[in-house]
Structure 1
Amino acid sequence: MASKAAAQAAKQLRVGIIGAGGNTKLHHIPKLQAIPGVDVVKIANRSEESAAKVCKELGVKEASGDWQDVIQDSSLDAVVIGVWPYLHRTLVLEALQAGKHVLTEARLAMNASEAREMYQASLRHAHLVTQVVPSPLTYDYDATIQDIIKQGTLGELLYIEVRAISNSFAEADGAPLTWRTDQRYSGLNIGVLGIFYEPLQRWVGDATAVQARAKTVVRLREDQQTGDLRTVHIPDHIDILAEMAIGAQAHIVVSSVIGAVPGFSKGYVLYGREGTLFVDLAAKKLQLGLKSEGGQLKDVTVAEGKIETWKVEEEFVAAIRGEGSIRRTTFEQGVRYMEFTEAVTRSIQSGCTVKLPLLT
């Protein structure tokens, strides 16, 4: 083990960071620094002052207020992109062109077209590793749920219910505008829709059609930079009916404006001919009710070896070193969830069912 660590250290991997937000400071920087032979050497943030502050906190050498300083630094092998979606396409394309491996925050892009362009660029630079930060919501349960489905325990899947409800009442008009509520920065991403759809993709695959209805309750928000009120174009409540490739119908609710929710507010229910699987993320429990046992929900014990932990940075580095491959999340997977998100928006705008995958 010691000799392996020494060999890794000899092959130093130099990483630059663009955007030092919460996830970057909590996960990416310290967890990259913990890997033998990896050196986080430069951070570019909105200002050199804010970058310098993070550098001091986390022991990084160089600070910059210009992302080009990271992209154009020929001494760097890889780039971590921690900014909002509005810059993902530009930074990914520039980084790949500069010969750098790329780990980018989710959501992958502003829309499906950008996502496809980024994926195609990754194929043209196939010698470089590209990865999207995955949804970690269901790490504790993913392997167990996949086993239950593969073993046929639920039988034919008939219906899936997904709830992503903040369980808080609507803010008043004039509440602060955030990047998630500002289409200039988030594009066609709607709240936490992508974060909740991605685990569903892991378990049962993609949707083949969606029909959506939406409501914008908080119509005006205050731009914190200018003090101006801005019209909000991203809905804060959506209902989606989706046809899944596996044959089940899914009902997905994403809402940040309803409170005192009875039952569960965050999680999934998978209904099959032979059983029902309940994933309550708020209560942190996994339950299974079998037809053969009267349908009573019982707790599922998740084996310790089935519980996955956050290993995004380890997977990224291992892939660069040729010691593994990207499993979560590839750019190709990112394109698929961006197409789903865009299909939801198209359905909201048209009032029609939208088929997947999108043709254009």
Structure 2
Amino acid sequence: MATRETIRIGVVGAGANTRLRHIPGFQAIEGVEVVAVCNRTEASSRAVAEAFGIPRICGHWREIVEADDVDAVCIGTWPYLHAEITCAALEAGKHVLTEARMARNVAEAERMLEASRKHPELVAQIVPAPMSLDLDAAVSRLFAEGRIGELREVCLTQTGPACADASAPLSWRQDFELSGVNTLMLGIYYEMGRRWTGIDPVRVLAQGRVFTKSRRDGEGREVVVRIPDAVTVLGEYADGGRLVGHFSGVETTRPRTEIRVNGSRGCLRGDFAENALYFAPVGGEEAPVAVPESERRGWRVEADFVESIRTGAPVQLTNFEDGLAYMRFTEAVFRSQEAGGIWVSPRELGGGIDQ
């Protein structure tokens, strides 16, 4: 199918990001058509089809996966369906672009990776964490120039008010059945930090808290909340460096959104509220890092996916190996905080499949 002149996309799950990014992104590429959509209800599927001129709606995601006129599947559902749809689509010979987070847990992520390895001729890509896209190349340049030196600390921070209102209903991000172990923005920031450093901690320790013990779901049922409203993480790298993370959904003051990398020669700070990068050499002052337009990657997820299908090029940013790595970290943090703050090794989670 990669040799077809026209690439035909089927969309499963047409939430906000799918409508904002994926469908318009595909439709803007010459030789790409979005031919079918399946959302949670017929009415919502029809509304999306009419809004974007998609010719067909489907009543079940399997209709898209099994359709002869679909070459690739874009999965925009919540994480609870990512593994099932991905594995079915790959088995049916379809390329897959799945929304992040990759899956609900390590076991599902391993299933997805195994399925992709059975079909190396197909593209299996995860939507990358987007906040650092304009800064990643400049960070790589600073590392390559030796400006950071020996890595000492990676500090991940994201706070906001998403969980602050105790009277608010249960969101899908707080629903363990829908999201699994994914917690706040933990996995997103870890993915970006890993993109910068290229390494994973050998063990992590976490302390989390659910401040609002239960919330009502969309049907009015009281649901016990397992996913923390706030979590703090410590990690150790093999070379002795530290990972420090703080994520809070109960902070109603100005949000904090940054990654800091502290080294023996200098420290850098990515400020995602400003979309800016700063550097301070040891003994010097912090100053902005000039990031030329040529280094600002921007959003090109759909274009990257199509390019990989057409040319056989490797996935540009987040492949399934990367996804399994951040799911191992995320589940290790979740298990540690649920157990009261014990050390957990991400590498030892799951069935031992090699990343």
Structure 1 residues 25 and 169, CA, compared in 2 at 3 Å: closer, same or farther?
closer
Tell me whether 1:148 sits opposite 2:145 in the alignment: no
Aligned residue pairs total 347
Cα shift at 1:130: 0.6
Instruction: State how far apart, in whole Å, the 1-side matches of 2:253 and 2:301 are.
Output: 35
Shift of 1:168: 6.9
Q: Kindly, what percent of the aligned residue pairs are identical?
A: 39
Q: Equivalents in 1 of 2:264, 2:44: separation in Å?
A: 55
Give CA deviations for 1:29-72 in whole Å, capped at 9, x if unaligned. Answer: 11111111111110011112211110110111001221121111
User: Please, which of 296, 312, 331 is the counterpart of residue 320 of structure 2?
Assistant: 331
Summarize the Cα distance change of 1:139–1:88 in structure 2 as closer, same or farther, 3 Å threshold. Answer: same
> Is 1:314 paired with 2:303?
yes
Indicate the residue corresponding to 2:195 in structure 1.
202
Verify the 8 A CA contact 1:169 1:259 in the aligned structure 2: no
Aligned counterpart, 2:281:
290
For residues 158 and 58 of structure 2, the distance between their equivalents in structure 1, rounded to whole angstroms, comes to 37
RMSD value, Cα: 1.7
Question: Conserved in 1, the CA contact under 8 Å of 2:11 and 2:37?
Answer: yes
* Residues 1:258 and 1:310: Cα distance change in structure 2 (over 3 Å): same
3-state SS, counterpart of residue 202 of structure 1:
helix
Paired residue for 1:348, among 331, 337, 341? 337
Partner of 1:357: helix, strand, or coil?
helix
Q: Quick one: which of 45, 68, 75 aligns to 1:74?
A: 68
Q: Using the alignment, how far apart are the partners of 1:31 and 1:209 within structure 2?
A: 39
2:124 is aligned with 1:136: no
Report the alpha carbon displacement of residue 359 of structure 1 after superposing the two structures with TM: 4.5
Counterpart of 2:253? 260
Alpha-carbon distance, 1:258 to partner: 2.1
1:3 equivalent in structure 2: none
Q: Which residue does the alignment assign to 2:347?
A: 357
* Cα separation, 2, equivalents of 1:269 and 1:66: 44
Alignment of 1:1-360 (within 5 A): 11-166=5-160, 170-172=164-166, 174-204=167-197, 205-224=199-218, 226-245=219-238, 247-260=240-253, 265-291=256-282, 294-322=283-311, 324-350=313-339, 351-360=341-350
1 CA distance for matches of 2:65 and 2:272? Answer: 38
- In the alignment, the residues of structure 2 paired with residue 323 and residue 96 of structure 1 have an alpha-carbon distance, to the nearest angstrom, of 16
CA drift of 1:252 comes to 0.2
Q: Which runs of 4+ in 1 moved over 6 A?
A: none
Distance in 2 of aligned mates of 1:359 and 1:252: 20
State the Cα distance separating 1:356 from its structure 2 match. Answer: 3.0
Structure 1, unmatched stretches of 5+, are: 1-7
TM-score, with normalisation over the residues of structure 1?
0.92
Distance in 2 separating the partners of 1:245 and 1:305: 34
Answer whether contact 1:47 1:66 (CA < 8 A) is retained. Answer: no
Q: Residue by residue, what CA displacement relative to the aligned partner does 1:263-322 show, whole Å, maximum 9, x if unpaired?
A: x7110121112212111212333211112xx32111111111111111111111111112
Q: TM-score, normalised by structure 2?
A: 0.94
Contact 2:155 2:261 in 1 (8 A): yes
1:333 CA drift (Å): 0.6
CA contact (8 A) 2:236 2:242 kept: yes
Relative to structure 1, the CA distance from residue 320 to residue 168 in structure 2 (aligned partners, 3 Å threshold; closer, same or farther) is: closer
Cα distance 1:103–1:144, how it changes in 2: closer, same or farther (>3 A)? Answer: same
**Which range moved further: 69-78 or 233-242?**
69-78
